[in-house]
Amino acid sequence: MVDQLHQTFIQKLEQHYGSWEKKISRFGTATYGDIAHDLCISASLFSQLIYGSATEGMYVRAIRNVERLAATAALKGKVLALPDPGKAEKQYIPKIGLGFLIGVLLFGVVLVLFTFLFPTSSRERVDTTQNGHPLTAFFDQPFDADFDAPYLNVSEVQSYCPASAYEGTWTLNEPYQLPLPGTKKPGLYYLAKSADIRMKSSKVDTFIAPRGHVLNGYEYLINEIWVDTKQTPLSPKYFDKENKIYTPAFRNLDFSTNPDFKIVATIHSFFIDKFILEGDQIIRLGEPSGRFASDVDEELAATYEIDLKYLLEQVIGNLTKAHCSVAQNPYCDPNRLTAGESVINFDCVYTIQSENLGLGGGYPYTKGYRLEQQSYSDNLICTCDDS
């Protein structure tokens, strides 16, 4: 579906702006920056849309806005093509028509901007957050833009080594899924689908660790709640109670392709993290900073007696208190970090006071962070012995 939407997006751009000139980063005579400005989106989001890495929601919204731009341009063209209102036989009628069309044009432009900036429904409100990380404007401006990046200046990176090497964009390495308690019957699941993290060196946390050994992380997550319509008991099919591990059936379970599973809602969460670098180990401390649900299937929730507010506050809220072990850090030498390849894994166990799954313990999972883009990637002089 995303591939089809990507192709449709490209076609819409070519219809409106002209053929795609990849080598010079243009559609017709319009630069990527010009188009991003027209669509009221960031340059980084436009790059995701162009190269096929955006989400389905991003493409749907972007296609809709290109269509609105085209419709507005077409209307403007009709206004410009009206007969000369100075001709006596049509002097009165065309004059009214011109004013009316200009009014419609202005109303259309205002409506597009109002819809984009101040969406009213929860679904539209979510589309604005799906455009990317909420702090994109602060972290991801072009290098020549008039802004002050939160990342270290080049003159500071050696002083804040090794943390300076970890600054940049990280993502969730792999999705993971967990059973959720909190309902009277089995069959409720949590799918951690994606995470978009910006990490920056902390300059003030010297009471926690020496300078250059603490990172602040700003983590935007998109997760989903799924229900098993057959309400199959978790054990023994999906969980081995004796060994406290998931069965192969659970590890291979794909909610999106299994007709027994239906999505109840999408959950958007924001975390503030601290990552403490201690030689070949990393400690993560996470604090939730709010979450909300979107695309809620109210009928499905009612049918299976799913109290989404309770899940958000009590069940998923307790998930944030999961215990995670200290991660082994293979990048004690920060120069070994490689964008697109380097991964840091935290092994965690999720427990909850409202336990009702009958397993008598926690549920294991691994949360991994993958480095996507480094703010600074030149040689750093600190070594593992300095940690």
Q: What is the mean pLDDT of residues 199-204?
A: 94
Residue 46 pLDDT? 80
* For range 225-231, the mean pLDDT: 93
Query: According to the model, what pLDDT value does residue 206 have?
Result: 80
338 pLDDT above the threshold of 60: yes
pLDDT reported for residue 75: 63
Q: Residue ranges of the domains in the chain?
A: 2-128, 152-386
User: Of the ranges 203-212, 237-246, 265-274, which is most confident?
Assistant: 265-274
Span 130-151, mean pLDDT?
84
Residue with tokens 């975390």: 271
- Record the pTM: 0.65
Q: Using omega within 30 degrees of 0 as the cis cutoff, is the peptide bond preceding 236 cis?
A: yes
Residues 6+ apart with CB under 8 A from 269: 220, 221, 223, 288, 290, 291, 316
Axis crossing angle, helix 2-17 with helix 56-80, rounded to the nearest 10: 20
> Which of the residue ranges 221-225, 238-242, 376-380 would you say has the lowest mean pLDDT?
238-242
Name the 3-class secondary structure at 250: helix
What's the half-sphere exposure (Cβ side, CA atoms, 13 Å) at 280? 3
DSSP structure class, residue 153: P
Q: Which residue has the higher pLDDT, 13 or 356?
A: 13
Instruction: Return the percentage of the chain with pLDDT > 90, whole number.
Output: 37
Residue 324: the pLDDT is: 82
Residue 78 has a pLDDT of: 47
Most confidently predicted of 174-188, 349-363, 371-385: 371-385
Give the separation between CA 369 and CA 339, rounded to whole angstroms: 12
Residue 71: pLDDT band (50, 70, 90) is: confident
Looking at residue 321, what is its pLDDT?
58
Least confident stretch, 7-21, 83-97, 337-351? 83-97
pLDDT at 265: 93
pLDDT (0 to 100) of residue 171: 95
**Per-residue pLDDT for 374 more than 90?**
yes
Residue 127 has what pLDDT? 37
Which one-letter amino acid corresponds to residue 106? Answer: L
Residue-level pLDDT at 343: 95
Residue with tokens 């313990």: 361
pLDDT average, residue stretch 190-200 = 94
pLDDT of residue 120: 36
Look at 113 and 148; give whichever has higher pLDDT: 148
Mean pLDDT of the chain: 79
